[in-house]
Each structure stands twice: as C-alpha cells, then as structure tokens.
Structure 1
Amino acid sequence: MKKTEKGSATPRIGVQVFGSQNARRLNPKKLLLSKWTAVTPHDQEKHFIVTRVIQPEPPATRIESIELEAVYSRRVFSLFWHKLTDRQQWLQGWQ
C-alpha cells in the first residue's frame, strides 16, 4: 500500500500568503525592549533597542510610533513601527 503525500502541485483554497519573503508580522504591543539590527549601518550605529512605544493621544486608537535607541551612540529617534517589518532595512535581534 502506498502512502498518499499531503502536498500537491495545485494550490489550496483558503490558504493565505502574507506578503513576500521581505515582510514579517509584528505586534506593536510586544515591541518594547526588542532588539534590532540595521541592514545598512550609518555612523557605526548598527544595533538598536526599542526603548518606548509611543501611545496615541486617544488610547483607543492604534499604536503607530516607537522610539529606537542606538546602542553605540545612545542616539534616540522616532520611527513608525511598520518600518521594522521590512527585512531589507531591519533584522530582528542583534546580528
């Protein structure tokens, strides 16, 4: 008796593919103190840590911005958290 393979050449109906290989899914509420590596470092700033998740004025609205701090220079800047999903600019963790 032959085993039936589960994979097939035809695509399944109802399966969702989220973006390309260059995108990742993140939860903005879990970004605090997460570590990031810039793919193209500038001024020896390669490693960053999320030091603040900026809460919107009416608390019922979505979080849009975070503050990143460069580990080397301690420079802090604000960034839309969606930009961290681009793997061509940011890598998760310190690498």
Structure 2
Amino acid sequence: MHLPARNPLSANKLLNSKWTAALPVNKEKHFIVIKVIEPDTPGAPVTEVELQAVHSQRIQTLPWRALRDASVWRQGWV
C-alpha cells in the first residue's frame, strides 16, 4: 500500500523524518530517520535509510521504500 498522492515520499526528504511502527515490538513505536545511506556508485539512487528507535536508541537499516507500506509504518508520530 502506498502513501496518498498528496504526500509523496522521496528519499531526498527522509532525513530527520518521524515514523510510527504500526505493530510496535519491544516498546519501539516511534522512530527517526537518522541517515540516508548514499550508494557506492555516484549518481545511483538512494535505496536505504537508518532508523533509530526513540525508546531504545536501537538503529536498523532498511530499504527506504519499505516506509511506504502502511501496514508496517505510519508517517509522523501517531
């Protein structure tokens, strides 16, 4: 499922964005994008980001397009 067209998601606007896990695990509900991972090849599109859990400070890397899945992520802190 994709985000509504009125709020398109793009890799260049993800840094410091806030996200809520639809199904929190280990009290990790709210996350912040702390890094947009630049590809090894110059000019190649960004494919991954690092998210940090606000509660535990745990960092995870995932494909940025995974944030479009509304069954897993909600944009903002809900």
In structure 2, the residue matched to 1:92 is 75
Q: Which residue of 2 aligns with 1:23?
A: 2
SS at match of 1:82: helix
- Summarize deviations over 1:59-94 as a string: whole Å, max 9, x none: 210000000000000000100000000111100000
For 1:33 and 1:59, the matched residues in 2 are separated by: 23
Bigger Rg, structure 1 or 2? 1
Moved over 2 A (4+): none
Higher RCO (Cα < 8 Å, 6 or more apart): 2
Percent of residue pairs identical: 46
The TM-score with structure 1 as length reference comes to 0.76
Q: Kindly provide the amino acid, as one letter, of the partner of residue 46 in structure 1.
A: K
Structure 2 residue runs of 5 or longer lacking an equivalent are none
Structure 1 unaligned spans of 5+: 1-21
Partners of 2:42 and 2:31 in 1: how far apart? 27
State the TM-score, normalized to the length of structure 2: 0.92
Partner of 1:57: 40
Q: Aligned residues, how many?
A: 74
